[in-house]
Every structure is written in C-alpha cells, then in structure tokens.
Chain A
Amino acid sequence: VGQLLATIPRQAASKDFVSSNFAIDIPNSVLASARQGDIGAFEQMYRWFERPVFTLAHRLCGQREEAQDVLQESMIKLYHKLGEFRGDCPFWAWFRQIVVNECLMRLRKRQNHRQTELPENAHELEDDIVLPPQAADTRQLNHALQQLPDTTRSILWLYHVEGYTHEEIAELMNKTVSFSKSQCARGGKKLRELLSDTCEVIHHG
C-alpha cells in the first residue's frame, strides 16, 4: 500500500456519475472482530466487497482469470494488514488502494512484453466524450473496453468510475499528469470509434 495511502482519491465534484462501488461502510463491530482474527467477520467483509473488487480487477487487468487471482491476493493481504488500518480515511478507500496496487503491479509486469497504452498525443485532451447509443448495451461496451490497451483502459476506469484525479493516477503509475490526461482522451475516442464501427456493421449488415 505504501505511501499511496496518503493520496486516497477525492470524488471529483464535476463528475456527476462517479460513484465507486467500493463505497461501502463496514460496521465498526465487524471490522473490530475481523481485526482480532474472527474468520466469520472477515467472510462477512468478503461478501460485501467480492463484486466491487472483482469488477475493478477485471476492468484493470482485462482477464477474468487474473481478476480472480487479484481478488484472492487482495483479500489475503487485507486479512494480514487489517491491523495497519488506522481509521484516518474510509475503510473502503484504504482497501481499494490495496486492490488497485495489486492490479497495477500485474500490469507493470506485462508492460515488458507488449504495448499497454495508446500512442500519446499532447493535443488530445478532450474530457467530455459522448459515445454512440451502442454504449448503452452492456455487451457492446464491454467488448469495446476489452479491445483497449491495458493501461489506457485502467486510466479510463480509475478516472471516470473510481474518481481518481489525473494527478493521483500519474503518481500511481509513475507517469506524468499529461500522460494520464492524454490516455484518458485517446481511450475515450478509441472507445467511440470501436462502438461506431459496431453501429456501422449493424446498419450495413
């Protein structure tokens, strides 16, 4: 978790739709029992967080099997690190940082083998991207997301869904703020192209 715990992301007020699925308030009694090693209380916590963790891991890593591994590793780390939670931020935000770090660590290992981001373009900083109506179809949007490079997809998700700022993303990924902004804009446009292509295929088919 390290120093990044100090930079728990703030929910950007301008982004109306940002509402992390992680934002679950755990009762203090459950948290206290889990910290004392009560496996029953810990299972209760798992049941609350399993789907948000799995979804975030699947979006960032892009593979269901790897998301499954991230879920397991993150929960085991959480069990052993519960005593380190000092309560100076919401528990869910603290735990989410463990999951994000686990995902990014796996992405960094992949970066040695293939390109995980779109080519950078400093002029493309468009933020309010409107997708074609196909974006309302879960299957089509999921399919388009899977076609984005890993890093680009991760930045899009962290910014638009989890509410991280570009500064926070840049720090997490050891990149510049302009890199995060550029990937966000390029990823959005690529997503729009992919969904538009699907639309044309449907119309012409």
Chain B
Amino acid sequence: MADMSMQRSGVCLSEALNLLPLETPDATTWSMIASKINASKLPSRTERPRRWQIFASAACLCTLLAGIIYFNENRSVKVLPADSQLASLMQQSSKLETLLLAMRNPISSNAVTEAWQLSFDEQLQNIDQQLYLDTLSQTQQVALWQQRINILQQANSLSVRQRLHAAEGSAYNVALVESY
C-alpha cells in the first residue's frame, strides 16, 4: 500500500509498479522441482533397447561361444602335463570371470538376476576357499579349477541369454526358467 500523499495526487507509473508486493508460489513447488531433478539424474529403466545394444549382446554371445568351443576342443584333444594343465585352467577361468564381470549390468538388474548372481558368487567363493588350502593335491586343484570354470560358463551363458532377452524386449525370468 502506498502512503497518503500518493493517494491524494496520483502516482508515477514506475513507482506504482515497483511498489507492488512480491507474490508467493505454492508451498509444494520445491518438492516437485527436487523430485524432477532427482528423476533426471537416474537413467530411464523403461528405455527400449537400442540397435547397438542388440549387436553388442550378439557379439558377446559369439565371443563366449567361440571361447567355450575353443576351450572344449583344447580340453578334449590335448593332454597336458599337470602343471601346464593347471595354468591353462587358471587362465581360462580368468578370461571367463572377466567376461562375466563385463556383462553384469547393475542398471538393468532385477531381483531374480541378483539372486542367481549371488548364488554363483557363493559357489565361486566356496571353491576359492578350498583352493587356498595348502594340503590340496594337484589333481584336486585341477578338479576344483575345472569346477570353477563350469560355474563361470553357466553364469556367462545365463548373462548372455539375459542380454538377448532384454534386447528383444522380453522378460528375463523366461530365460531363468528355461535354464533350470
């Protein structure tokens, strides 16, 4: 409100406009802004798979299959001495584990995926604990490493199928049911 002198004689346009009080927005505005900002930080979970993701998944699958075939051929054809056999198994295990880690996607994960990943991790930990024992014979070590590789192959196979199902837009749970 203006003073009495303004009410008697009139008021300059600039002065009148500048004396208008500030207006107040709704009290809920900030919570809406904050939620929009938080939402913009998260990647969309409903994004459709892009063409490059489908190609990447297919490439992963091919690499894995080639690796498995190569490993199986090596295993079936060559009879290696115990030391070199162990080294070869360790190398193979390392490759498969690297591939598995590369394929794990925390963004597109869900409860079912998490469950079987935990299951595989637990099995690997059990084997690793046994491999730490000094009392193991070389034959036992080879057997454990072989077991480790089998688990990693299963995990990789499931990961690849999960990626392919996701790329095609279908639910991953189907793959899990089929595999078991």
- The number of inter-chain residue pairs (CB within 8 angstroms) is 109
Contact between chains at A133 and B6 (CB < 8 Å): yes
* Residue of chain A at shortest CB distance from B12: A130
CB-CB under 8 A for A21 and B22, given A39-B34, A133-B7, A138-B1 = yes
Closest beta carbon of chain A to B130's beta carbon, Å: 46
Question: Is B9 positioned at the interface, with any CB of A under 8 Å from its CB?
Answer: yes
- In the assembled complex, the CB of B27 is this many whole angstroms from the nearest CB of chain A, namely 10
**Residues of B close to A51: CB separation below 8 A:** 22-25
Is the CB–CB distance between B16 and A76 below 8 Å? no
* Contact (A138, B18) CB under 8 Å given A39-B37, A43-B30, A76-B33: no
Q: Does B72 contact A (CB under 8 A)?
A: no
Q: Does A194 contact B (CB under 8 A)?
A: no
User: Which A residues between 17 and 44 are near B, CB-CB below 8 angstroms?
Assistant: 17-19, 21, 39, 42-43
C-alpha gap A50/B25 in the complex (Å): 7
Residues A72 and B13 in contact in the complex (CB < 8 Å), given A51-B24, A133-B7, A138-B21: no
Interface residues of B in 96-112 (CB under 8 A from A): none
Distance (whole angstroms) from the CB of B33 to the closest CB of chain A: 5
Contact B25 A54 (CB under 8 A): yes
Q: Which interface class (under 10, 10 to 19, 20 to 34, 35 or more) fits A?
A: 35 or more
The size class of the interface chain B forms with chain A is 20 to 34
B32: CB under 8 A from chain A?
yes
Q: Which residue of chain A has its CB nearest to the CB of B38?
A: A39
A52: interface (CB < 8 Å): yes
Nearest-CB distance from A51 to chain B (Å)? 4
Contacts of A100 in B (CB 8 A): none
- In angstroms, Cα B32 to Cα A10, docked, is 34
Judge whether B44 is part of the interface by a CB distance below 8 angstroms: no
Residue B17 lies at the interface, judged by CB distance under 8 Å to chain A: yes
Given contacts A51-B23, A68-B29, A76-B37, contact A17 B2 (CB under 8 A): no
> A residues within 8 Å of B by Cβ?
15-19, 21, 39, 42-43, 46-47, 50-52, 54-55, 58, 67-68, 71-72, 75-76, 79-80, 128-133, 135-138, 141-142, 156-157, 160-161, 188, 191
15 contacts between A and B (CB under 8 A): A16-B14, A43-B30, A68-B25, A68-B26, A76-B33, A79-B37, A130-B10, A130-B12, A130-B13, A133-B6, A133-B9, A136-B6, A138-B1, A160-B17, A188-B13
Q: Which 7 A-B pairs have the closest CB atoms?
A: A136-B2, A135-B16, A54-B25, A51-B22, A160-B14, A129-B13, A17-B18
Using a CB–CB cutoff of 8 Å, the interface residues on chain B facing chain A are 1-3, 6-26, 29-30, 32-34, 36-38, 40
